[in-house]
Chains A and B, each alone.
Chain A
């Protein structure tokens, strides 16, 4: 079932758009990664789908409803968003932070959480393994722990769609895998539609059902990971030379950087002292 459809989307923060001409579709139960170099607009794309960008044009349908006509609360019932980790200003506890995901569902203005809300909060904390931290303040956590709290909050929102902005950026290798494994499970077991901005191509290729390459605000390629992880395409999109190999245990393609030898030309070579150049007299 089609969950999200984006047509000819333009988005940005000022007069000139960061991304333009973006069209894509996302099915329920699909796990799509937007990959691109820094500044290519992948985060902007993910945010635009949640209407978090001030300047938007085009068409976005979520569950066949026009995003631009939906109330903030209605959007929050369809899509949950995991931002990049930030420094918290106030000392909310982990549990309080995750419980904020349920606010949009509370009917009475002065009502507390229902049993169902509590159960959802608890399950979300367990899924992203922050249940043991629930009484701690956000300020006491490491970047990786905070990242998992933000993921727990998005899970507690209990939406058919999940948007994530570089979820692996603050995580060590172990938790990168855990987060992506969790996302894949949510995709497969619960049929969630997941859209993630990710710069780690190997991670995206190993877990996502399809990839989009984005460069300078435009989509340059879309397809299954095995079709997209291709030497020439990666070079064109990211501007780096890579080798593509098949991971022996997963059978999926993997890239590795081709490291140029010394003398990359980034820093002009210095003339050794005493061998010509300016003469000191």
Chain B
């Protein structure tokens, strides 16, 4: 297939599957509803089931979609940033930082709520942002910062944060169950305020990423080449790192740690439509949304009435695909 027609096919497929997945997400659940009732609830909002559909299923489906889009865009950015198709949103320690914050807040028993975010989400957000900022500042103390030093500092800081998390859990085992539930990721607590928060983050980040997508194409050739072709490498790198970190941190703060979305979705999209970031960013976001929407649908229906952590579903899809990618012959 020609590249253009592959792009069209992907777009059509995404559109149809996304509509279908949204409909199913609104229809399926512990309370039986018909498609007719779903449409009536969406259009008029007046029937006895509209409450379930509009304030439980709809925000949950939207939030899953938006978080998937955020994680996938974050992954697409970082894969370009590190010139490594195996980079993912948590590579700089966002997940370890967030876990530490969440466990800390559970242990302290903090009770507050801001913009739809409970205490553990707020602390997770804060500590993941702090951790990545720290990693950046430490590795920046060189005239030409290398991505390797950033990556290694991130891994080290992540390990430290994980050690602290383990220590906290070890000290107070009663918080363990709650922490694990949160860490594995779930959309069961979704509400509209979280939807607006993530939507805002996503729209802003997508716009900026799209604005700088050309520069990411240059960066992916190497810093030296990028600079010689007119890309202000340092500034562009800073902005992209900030975007990727914000996307990942906000996602984790509302949904916990959901792996593999940000790794495999951009990678798969790149295989279909090529590496041009001007297309890759947007389509990764759209495909990531769809992927997580379907994953969450499965998480809550496969073993109904009990609910799987959504991270389990994404990993079940993601890990085999990841292994396939690793063993794929290098040249196409």
Contacts and interface: CB of A to CB of B under 8 A. Distances in A.
Contacts of A96: 274, 276
A51 interface: yes
Interface string B240-275: 000000000000000000000000000000100011
A50 B228 contact: yes
Given A47-B224, A51-B227, A92-B275, A103 B210 contact: no
Interface stretch (B29-37, B108-116, B181-189, B215-223): B215-223
Contacts of B230: 72-73, 75-77, 103-104
B44 interface: no
Nearest to B278: A110
A257 B231 CA distance: 43
Nearest to A154: B228
Given A72-B227, A76-B229, A90 B222 contact: no
Nearest to A137: B332
Interface string B199-218: 00000000000110011011
B214 A106 contact: yes
Contact residues on B (Cβ < 8 Å of other chain), bracket:
20 to 34
Contacts of B330: 139
Contacts of B327: none
B228 A109 contact: no
Interface residues of A, number: 38
A55 B221 CA distance: 22
A71 interface: yes
B84 interface: yes
Contacts, number: 85
Contact of B229 (A47, A110, A157): A157
B178 interface: no
B143 interface: yes
B214 A89 contact: no
B324 interface: no
Interface in B82-98: 83-85
A83 B332 contact: no
B300 to A, nearest CB: 36
B331 A52 contact: no
Given A54-B144, A137-B332, A91 B275 contact: yes
> Which secondary structure characterizes the binding site on chain B?
loop
A139 B228 contact: no
Contacts of B218: 100, 103
Interface string A70-104: 01110111011101001011111100110011011
Interface string A12-39: 0100000000000000000000000000
A20 B83 CA distance: 33
Given A50-B228, A92-B275, A100 B217 contact: yes
Contact of A90 (B85, B143, B229, B232): B85
Contacts of A103: 214-215, 217-218, 229-231
Most buried by A among B215, B230, B233: B230
Contacts of B274: 91-93, 96
Nearest to A90: B275
A76 B332 contact: no
Nearest to A104: B230
Contacts of A50: 227-228
B225 interface: yes
Contacts of B228: 50, 52, 75-76, 79-81, 83
Given A103-B214, A106-B214, A140-B331, A89 B229 contact: no
A90 B224 contact: no
Most buried by A among B83, B227, B229: B229
A104 B332 contact: no
Interface of A: 13, 47, 50-52, 54-55, 71-73, 75-77, 79-81, 83, 86, 88-93, 96-97, 100-101, 103-104, 106, 109-110, 137, 139-140, 153, 157
8 contacts: A50-B227, A50-B228, A76-B228, A83-B228, A89-B83, A90-B220, A92-B217, A106-B214
Interface of B: 80, 83-85, 142-144, 210-211, 214-215, 217-218, 220-222, 224-225, 227-233, 270, 274-276, 330-332
Closest 5 CB pairs of A and B: A104-B230, A76-B230, A90-B275, A54-B143, A81-B228
